[in-house]
A and B are shown apart, each in its own frame.
Chain A
Amino acid sequence: MVKELFYFLIFPGMIFSVIVGGVLSWSDRKITARVQFRKGPPFLQPFYDLGKLFYKETILPKHGAKLTFLAAPVFALFSATLANVFILLPSVFPGSGFRGDLIVIFYLLAIPSLTYLLGSLASGNPLGALGASREMKLIISYELAFILSLACIIIKSGMSLSVSDIIAAQQEQGAFIGSLSGALIFIVILFVNQAKLALVPFDMSEAETEIAHGVFIEYSGSAYAIIKMARYVMLFALPAMLVTLLMGGFSFSGTGILWSVLKLLLILLLITLIRNTNPRVRIDQAMRFFFIWMNLLAVIAIVLSLINL
């Protein structure tokens, strides 16, 4: 019991993920600033933001479900942290995890978006409702592509449903990204990550210039700080999932640490560059992009992986 609590709360759970996620968020903002020839924020900026938000007043909506409004960020943080624990634990302790934890990770990664949606609907704000409706459409469009690519990974690893078996399979036959179907799946999951993180081509649910932060419009103070923490954890968990499932996993010994950090930063760099070089798409364009093109890529990858390409 104490061991599980340690995993969840300290390493590789909440404290570790929030700190690493904050550092990743800083590098995201710094890379963005360098792309625009600016200087960018100082290193501790994400933690200053968190500290300030905890220092500020939390305002509850007058007409709305207050309990749902306050519980939603907590659920987002806890499910994102739990997903991160399940993703990282098989890399930290080889052979840990259980049969079917890939499915659990899939569901846990879907929960934060759902709770943002519930929280914004509970606030009773019209712009929040608009953001929630867009978030709902986005969830419908990307989840199918995501589960199809997970199916492809399961086929490539010889029908195993546990993350540690997938890592072991990659150590035997090389990282999955080296094969053709693996490369296709990498593209699909990269765009799914972009949509799950609500970064620029798919940030229509919180478009700040258009519907004023959409789903987060009514949040202030500590509640918004917890949302920020959940978003930092997701910014760590989703690239970590990509590294674990396709690029051979992390290793925490010797020069392996350096390789792990480089893999994570490479994916973050790709995400940030996509974010900085694209305009925001409309919701129907996003749905068409995922329903037609990403699903097509995922199905092609499944067919290729069945003939061992």
Chain B
Amino acid sequence: MGLGSYCFRKSLWVFHFGGASCNNCDIEILDCLTPRYDIERFGMQLVGTIRHADVLLVSGSINRKCRDRLLELYHQAPKPLLVVAFGACGCTGGIFAEGNTFAGPVDKIIPVDAYIPGCPPKPEAILAGIVKLLNK
């Protein structure tokens, strides 16, 4: 393992893409920044632009409108990039999987490195998913 990839795993900057989300996952992501879970211990930060991002966190069901945006974001991001499908909607489609406007779970559109299931996932589950991502 080279120095570059070592540093990469030590400082993951997260960009959060909310698809057609019900916002419950988004609130649980913010929980990870609070004193109780403090995700900055692992060098993680939430960033506002995809150009700085190392992790693309996709929450919410992806419908036909979101699909193109998600693909565009994926192509705009500097590589190497890790993609995390977040919540039941991101992983499988959840209760929207049969819907008319549903455009497939995240892994049908872009390659996914880690799945964090739950509706919404608990902050503990998010930390467990992060540990999986770091040991990948």
Contact = CB atoms under 8 A, between A and B. Distances in A.
Contact of B8 (A44, A52, A218, A219): A52
Contacts of B38: 33, 38-40
Contacts, number: 86
Contacts of A44: 10
Nearest to A211: B48
B11 interface: yes
Contacts of A212: 48-49
Interface stretch (B56-64, B66-74, B76-84): B76-84
Contact of B78 (A29, A45, A217, A220): A220
A213 B35 contact: no
Interface stretch (A56-64, A149-157, A237-245, A298-306): A56-64
A45 B47 CA distance: 16
Given A48-B11, A55-B7, A58-B78, A37 B35 contact: yes
Interface string A6-45: 0000000000000000000000010001001111111011
Interface residues of B, number: 24
B78 A52 contact: no
Given A37-B35, A38-B35, A49 B48 contact: no
A52 B10 contact: yes
B4 interface: yes
A284 interface: no
Contacts of A50: 7
A48 B51 contact: no
Contact of A49 (B34, B43, B76, B78): B43
Contact of A59 (B5, B41, B51): B51
Contacts of B52: 213, 216, 219-220, 224
Interface of B: 3-8, 10-11, 34-35, 38, 40-41, 43, 47-49, 51-52, 54, 76, 78-80
